[in-house]
Structures are given as C-alpha cells and as structure tokens.
Chains A and B, each alone.
Chain A
Amino acid sequence: MLEAIDLKKTYGDYQALKGLNLRVNGGDIYCLLGANGAGKTTTINLFLNFVTPTSGVARVNGIDVNADPLQTKRYLAYIPEQVMLYGNLTGMENLEYFARLGGHDEYSADDYRGFLRRVGLQEDAAGRRVKTYSKGMRQKVGVAIALAKQARALLLDEPTSGLDPKASNEFSELLVQLKSEGAAILMATHDLFRAKETGTRIGIMRGGQLVQELSTDEVSHADLERIYLEHMH
C-alpha cells in the first residue's frame, strides 16, 4: 500500500510537487498520466527516498519512507524506464544478486529459473550475460526481481516506453498478474491505451499537482483521451 499525504518537493524556487495526496491500495494499478515535468518521476523518487520531501509524508505499508527508508524498501520493487543490470553478469546472476539484496536468501537456482520463466524470458537467455539483452528482456528481469522480492508495492516509471507492442502487452499482462496477487502498483506512463487497459485507477498530473482522479471502468478510451487533453491545454 502506497500513500502520499500533502507531499511537497521544491528545488530552490521551483516547485516540483505542490502538495500531493494519493493512495494506492493492494490490488490497484494506479496510472499517473501527465506531461514531462508534471511531477510523476518526483513522486516515484519520493517513495524510493531518492529525494527527500520538502514537507509531507510518503508511506509504504504504513511506514514513513523518510523516517525508515531501509525498512520500506523491503516491500518495494522499482522498475524504471530502463531496467539497468550488470552487463557482465548473466540474467540469473543479476536476479540472484538483487533478490538477495532484498533480503531473500532462500531461493535455489531452480527458483530463480522459475521466476524468469514466469516473466517469459527465453530459457536460453537466463544463462547469458545481460549486455546481450534487449530492453524488453531487461524489463522482464525487472519484473522477475519484483516477484523474487515478493514486493507488496511496485513503482514503475514509464516501464513500457520504447517497447514494441507485443513486449508491451506481455509486460502489462505481468502487471495484471501481480495486481491480482494483491500488489499495490503505481505506474507513471504516457500510454493512455495501456493505462485504460491495465490500470484500475488513473491520476492526471499537471504542474506538480494531481488535477483529476478517475476509475478506468468509468471512462472509455475516447473519454480518457479527451479528459487528458483538456487538462493539458
């Protein structure tokens, strides 16, 4: 469960986030829409404690991120626009390293292979060095890390941008699976179509503020695009 209460972040005179209130429950895929610079990435970085809030609180699983960042990171998985891994290690080795960093020492090699199979990585790729991987393959390893970490909350920052439609679709299916297992997912995206298809709720941001929230089952694709564009003007 992710929660932002009156979260603010300013850089000098520039207000990147102007008092955000947000709640993502388990079983939700919350899609943050908005132009570049609207504050989507800042929001995610605040949940990761990569930046410290100017005021307000970000909570993961009820714990204040700023007060106990290491504890909250046990529940979090982070999938950035580019999942970056260690190129000179194999997919398996990367997965194992990150899983163990997350505190999970209990898995066997078969378990890791299982995670990679579940996210749809080709069998022969698991033992290859990651520098030979495509972006789609790396994003899949990112999801496998989230699986291995048994993350209660996922933070995704435009994870599908630049993926081909098939890879993007496979990725979205994985998210739906994780949602059905009870994870709280917060995803920043520009893809209105995917947001409507896979998201449960949508928040539109502009100039560091959440200007509208809606449920995906309330709107059609066309409505969503119209509402979004209205806010952008």
Chain B
Amino acid sequence: MYRLIISHETRSLARTGALWAILALLVFAIGFAAFAGGRAITRQAKGAADAVAFENGERAKMRQDTEAYAAEVAASGGTYEFATVNHVPGRGPPQGTNAGVVGAETAAYVVLPPTGLAALSIGQSDVQLNYLPASMGTTLDMIKNLETENPVNLQTGPFDIAFVVIFLLPIFILAMTYDLLSSEKERGTLAMILAHPVSLRELMASKIVARAAVILAVVVGFGLLALLSVGTQLDQAETWVRFALWIIATLLYSLFWFSLAVLVNVYGRSSATNGTILAGIWLILVVVVPTLVSLLATTLYPAPSRMDLIVAAREAQTAGEKNMGSALDRFYSEHMDQVPTGDQRAMDFLTLAQANAANIEKALLPLYEQFREQSLHQEGLVQRFQYLSPAIMMQLALNEISGTSTARYQDFLDQAFRFRSQWNDFFASRFLKREPLRPADYDQFPSFSYVPESLTTVLGRLATSLAGLLLVCAGVTLLPFVGLRRYQVAAR
C-alpha cells in the first residue's frame, strides 16, 4: 500500500510544474553555493600559500647572503661576526646573521588546513584568518588582522551550502508540504482516498516519503557533486566520515520541517492558513531566534574591543619608554636604522626593544585571556540556547562537521600562540647572546605543523547538536501521528 501511494504521489509531483521550478531553484542554489564555497576555500589556500612562499623567499635570500659571507670569511680567514642593525649593504656581515632581524622582520606563517568538507560550510572562516604571521614582538602583531569584534557565532555567513540547507531547504520543503492534507481535503480527493482501505497515517507517511525522497536525492546528490568538485582530501577516510555526518544532520533537519508541516496540517485548517503559520514558524526559528541568541551572546559577553587592546599596548609601551633614560636613547630606540654604523649602542637599543616587547606582551596577557574567556562564554551561551531553534543546532553541527567551528579555530589559535612564543624564544635567545646565525642554523628554525583534532573530540562536540536535533525531530514527528486520530475528514 505504501509503495502504491508513494509511486502515485511521485507521479503526481512529477506532473506538477511548480515542483520542477522549485527543484531547479534548489539545484541552482546548491550549485552556486558550491561554487562560492569552493572559491572561498581556494582563495584562503592561495592567500596562505602566497604568504608562506613570500616569507620563505625572504629567509632564503638571507640564507644565501650568510652563505656568501661564510665563504668570504673562510677565504679571508676572518671571524664570522654578528651584523649590527645598521650596516652598509655588501660590507661586513649581512643581516641574515642577526637572529633578531631574521626573527622579527620575517614571519613564519601558521596555517590552519581546511577539512575535506570546508567548502560546504564556510562558517566564520572568512573572518577567522586561516593563516597568521608568527614573528618576534607581541602576540598583538599576530592577531591584529583578526576580526575580534565580529558578532561571533551566528552570523548568517556567506552563501554556502550550509546556508542553502539551513535557510532555503526548509522553504522548499514547506512549499511542497504546507498543503499536504489540506489541498486534498479542499480538492475533495481526500474523501475519495479514505473511502478505500487506507489509513490517514499510511497516506501521510507515504506522501512525506515521496517528497522527502525527491528533496533528499537532490540535496545529497548535488551535495556530493559539490563535494567532489570543490572538496579536498577525498582520499582520506575522515572526509567521508564527515560527509556521512553531514548527510545525517541534513536528514534530521529536513525531517523536522517535514514533520512540522504534518503537524500543522493535522489541525485541519485551510491551505492558506497552514502556509501562513508555517512561514511564520520558519521566520521565527530560522531568522528571529538565531539573531536574538547571537545578540544575547554579544550583549552579555561582549568581546573587549580592538581599541582596548591597542590602548593597553600603547600604555605598556609608554611605561617601558619611561625606563629608557635619555631622550637620545628614546630617539634611537625609535629610529634604530639611524644609529651610526659600529655604534655598540644599537645593539642595546635592540635589546631594549626586545625587553619592551616582552613588557607589552605581559601587559596584554590579561586582555588576551579576557578575549578567550568572552569568546568561550559566548560560545557556551550559544551552545546552551541552541535547543531553542533547529537552525542554530544545524549551524553548529554543520560548522563542526565542516571544520569551521569556533572550537576548532580556538584550538588552532592556541597552537599558533604556542608556536609564536617558540619562534620568539629561538631567535631572542640567540640575539641576546649575540650569537651570529650561520647558514646551518637556518635548518634549525622552528617550524609549525598543525596538529589536527582527533575525530572523537569533534564527535564529542557534535553530539550535543545532533542529539538536540534528534530529540526535537522525534517530538515533532510523533505529535502529528498522535493528533491524526482526531483529524476530521468530513466537515460537519
């Protein structure tokens, strides 16, 4: 019986022009989103690669200079010396021998590699830079291009596949189902059908299956196509695990909207009323609630503004400068390149600058901590309030699955900060001891390699959102099947 009704419904749907228009739109939206997502990922990857290549090139040049200098020293039998800050190009030791210069004037980029599914949900990754410069100096230099004041969690984000799934898919589903029973009732075919040995429940379930099959075939099929066309790391099992999770989440989310349409239909109002009610619910759950939760998060736990950071950095710097003694010292410390050649004080000023940076860094530490805390608070609040709307749960789930979640980024930042201090220590210790860098030292520079989170960590974070979706779905799915008992087929 189910099969008969499903095939009948499919045939009826296939002969409905409006359905083809809806599907064409959906396919177009997915295609465009995949294109946009793929382009964003490519752009990020290219930006990171360019930055890394540029800095590596700078260091390679310095290394060449030191190699030439080493050869020269070996030939003349002189000593291999440490370059002063201000030197005449081509004479004396090159800048590449000075650890302070190499460590501060070139940067090592730390790069967060995208997951295989990154293109499906760009999330915040367009404002969360996926590559950051690590160099001597302060952490502030590293994160100054980060968008810290961004209303973190729940921005609509770019037009990616997650957007299509979260915002547009419900509209397509509701367009196909808002009059699921009411249209048959209004047309009079419901009475014809129910005069046959078919229960309302069978009819309803079959109608849903027919529509769900159409929509999901399109979403999963085109999602897969999109993944294949823009995805990366397709050879890794983890990518396919993530894709399976993506499909599960999409299934649950779709089921929610289908069930909601059934629930509204069960109350037996007119198609027009059902449509209005469902559109209202969509607006509240997909637009209003997420906006309010985001607003609540940023109001309750505002991130310290970037201005606060900069002001604090200035204050620390001013305090440091007071200790610097004479006006001349201060002048030279600001115009290091104008210190006369051979003036030993130049080195002192560099040392002072290094000490100064350490001071500023120390002064800013509480602020960084505050950032981190506020960001964690915001994230925690969104995590707690996500159960108010399936759209939030879905956004969090998709971000997690695609590797663009706040938690993964925070983990990357932690790794990046650790690497920066490693980089800083490596060069600072050599510089302060005036140890000249030799060509071979260039192979000893710290290098960053991202440690990916384990899949269990990701699954653990994902579990709350998915479990929430599952619960809401179960609730909304079961209700109509209880309510169907009271459905009035005939008007009194």
B-binding residues in A (CB < 8 A): 11, 16, 41, 45, 48, 50-51, 70-71, 73-74, 76-78, 80, 82-86, 88-89, 93, 97-98, 100-103, 149, 155
Stretch from B7-15, B82-90, B114-122, B326-334 contacting the other chain: B7-15
Whether B196 and A88, one on each chain, are in contact in the complex, defined by CB atoms closer than 8 angstroms, is no
Cα of A56 to Cα of B208 in the assembled complex, Å: 36
Residue of B11, B191, B198, B489 contacting most chain A CB atoms (<10 Å) = B191
Q: How many Å lie between the Cα of A221 and that of B242 in the bound state?
A: 79
**Contact between B195 and A77, CB atoms less than 8 A apart:** yes
Contact between B189 and A85 (Cβ–Cβ < 8 Å)? yes
Contact A70 B488 (CB under 8 A): no
Docked CA distance A16–B490 (Å):
14
Write the residues of chain B forming the contact surface with A, with a CB cutoff of 8 angstroms: 1, 4-5, 8, 11-12, 15-16, 187-189, 191-199, 488-490, 492
Could you tell me if A101 and B196 are in contact, using CB atoms closer than 8 angstroms? yes
**Is A78's CB under 8 angstroms from B191's CB?**
yes
| In the complex with contacts A73-B196, A98-B196, A101-B4, A88-B16 CB distance below 8 A | yes
Interface centre among A50, A51, A155 (most CB of B within 10 A): A50
Alpha-carbon distance between A98 and B490 when the two chains are bound, in angstroms: 19
Ranked 7 nearest A-B pairs via Cβ: A84-B188, A78-B195, A50-B490, A101-B196, A50-B489, A88-B15, A70-B197
- Contact check: which of B4, B192, B197, B490 meets A85 at CB < 8 Å? B192
Residues of chain B within 8 A (CB-CB) of A84 are: 187-189, 191-192
B192 near A98: Cβ-Cβ < 8 Å: yes
Known: A48-B489, A51-B490, A80-B188. 12 other contacts (CB 8 A): A45-B490, A71-B197, A73-B196, A78-B192, A84-B188, A85-B192, A86-B189, A88-B15, A97-B4, A98-B193, A100-B4, A149-B196
Contacts of A74 in B (CB 8 A): 197
Q: What separation, in Å, do the CA atoms of A78 and B197 have in the docked complex?
A: 12
A189 to chain B, nearest CB (A): 18
Q: Nearest CB to that of A101 among chain B residues?
A: B196
Which residues of chain B have C-beta atoms less than 8 A from A98's C-beta?
Answer: 192-193, 196
Q: Contacts of A88 on B, CB cut-off 8 Å?
A: 12, 15-16
Nearest B-chain residue to A157, judged by Cβ? B191
How far apart are the CA atoms of A216 and B198 in the complex, in Å?
A: 36
Name A12's closest neighbour in chain B (CB-CB). B492
A86 to B193, CA, bound (A): 11
Q: How far does the alpha carbon of A48 sit from the alpha carbon of B212 in the complex, in Å?
A: 30
The smallest beta-carbon distance between B7 and chain A, in angstroms, is 9
Of listed B5, B196, B199, residue having the most chain A CB within 10 A: B196
Residues of B within 8 A of A50 (CB): 191, 194, 488-490
Question: How far apart are the CA atoms of A45 and B490 in the complex, in Å?
Answer: 7
Q: Could you name 17 residue pairs across A and B whose Cβ atoms are closer than 8 Å?
A: A11-B492, A16-B492, A41-B490, A45-B489, A50-B194, A70-B199, A71-B197, A73-B194, A80-B192, A84-B191, A89-B11, A89-B15, A97-B4, A98-B193, A101-B4, A101-B5, A101-B197
What distance in Å separates the Cβ of A41 from its nearest Cβ neighbour in chain B? 8
How far does the Cβ of A58 sit from chain B's closest Cβ, in whole Å?
14
| A54 CB to nearest B CB, Å | 12
Residues of B within 8 A of A86 (CB): 12, 189
Q: Are A73 and B195 in contact (CB under 8 A)?
A: yes
Interface centre among B12, B188, B189, B192 (most CB of A within 10 A): B192
CA distance A50 to B492 in the complex (A): 10
- Measured CB to CB, the nearest residue on chain A to B7 is A97
A149 and B197 CA atoms in complex are apart in Å by: 11
Distance of A52 from chain B, by nearest CB (Å): 10
Chain A residues contacting B192 (CB-CB under 8 Å) are: 78, 80, 83-85, 98
A101 touches B193 (CB 8 A): yes
Q: How far is the CB of B251 from chain A (nearest CB, A)?
A: 29
Q: Are B492 and A102 in contact (CB under 8 A)?
A: no
Contacts of B8 in A (CB 8 A): 97
Chain B residue at minimal CB-CB distance from A71:
B197
Cα distance A51–B197 in the bound complex, in angstroms: 16
* Bound complex: CA A117 to CA B11 (Å): 25
Nearest A-chain residue to B198, judged by Cβ = A101
Point out the residues of chain A lying under 8 angstroms from B193, CB to CB. Answer: 98, 101
Contact B11 A102 (CB under 8 A): no
Chain A hits for B195, CB < 8 A: 48, 73, 76-78, 155
Asked if residues B189 and A51 are in contact (CB atoms below 8 Å), the reply is: no
Residues of A contacting B1 in the complex (Cβ-Cβ under 8 angstroms)? 101
User: Which B residue's beta carbon lies closest to that of A41?
Assistant: B490
Q: What chain A residues lie within 8 Å of B489 (beta carbons)?
A: 45, 48, 50-51
Task: Give the residues in chain A near B191, CB-CB below 8 Å.
Answer: 48, 50, 78, 80, 84
> A88 CA to B10 CA in the complex, in Å?
12
Residue numbers in A under 8 Å from B5 (CB-CB): 101
Task: List the A side residues contacting B196 at CB < 8 Å.
Answer: 73, 98, 101-102, 149
A98 to B230, alpha carbons, bound, how many Å? Answer: 47
CB distance from B195 to the nearest CB of A (A): 4
Of all chain A residues, which has the CB nearest B488?
A51
A98 to B193, CA, bound (A): 7
Chain A nearest CB from B211 CB (Å) reads: 16
Which residues of chain B have C-beta atoms less than 8 A from A85's C-beta? 189, 192
Distance (whole angstroms) from the CB of A153 to the closest CB of chain B: 11
List, in ascending order, chain A residues with CB within 8 A of B187's CB.
84
Min Cβ gap B271→A in Å is 15
Q: How far is the CA of A89 from the CA of B15 in the complex (A)?
A: 8
The complex places the Cα of A93 from the Cα of B195 at a distance, in Å, of 18
| Distance in angstroms between the alpha carbons of A45 and B492 in the assembled complex | 10
Query: CA of A70 to CA of B194 in the docked complex: distance in angstroms?
Result: 9
A-chain residues with CB within 8 Å of residue B15 when the two chains form the complex: 88-89
For B488, list chain A residues within 8 Å (CB).
50-51
Query: A48–B192 Cα gap in the complex (Å)?
Result: 10
Separation in Å of the B215 CB from the closest CB of chain A?
20
A82 touches B197 (CB 8 A): no
Is B492 touching A51 in the complex (CB atoms < 8 A)?
yes
Question: In the complex the two chains form, what is the Cα distance from A45 to B196 in whole Å?
Answer: 13
Question: Least Cβ distance of A120 to chain B in Å?
Answer: 20
- Residue of A at shortest CB range from B184? A84
For B489, the closest partner residue in chain A by CB is A50
Write the nearest CB–CB distance from A232 to chain B, whole angstroms.
Answer: 22
- In the complex, the chain A residue whose C-beta lies closest to that of B490 is A50
Using Cβ atoms and an 8 Å threshold, which residues of chain A touch B194? 48, 50, 73
Tell me whether A82 and B4 are in contact (CB under 8 A).
no
Q: For residue B189, which residues in chain A have a CB less than 8 angstroms away from its CB? A: 84-86
Rounded to whole Å, the gap between the CB of B48 and the closest CB of chain A is 54
Residues of B within 8 A of A82 (CB): 188
Question: A11 CA to B488 CA in the complex, in Å?
Answer: 12
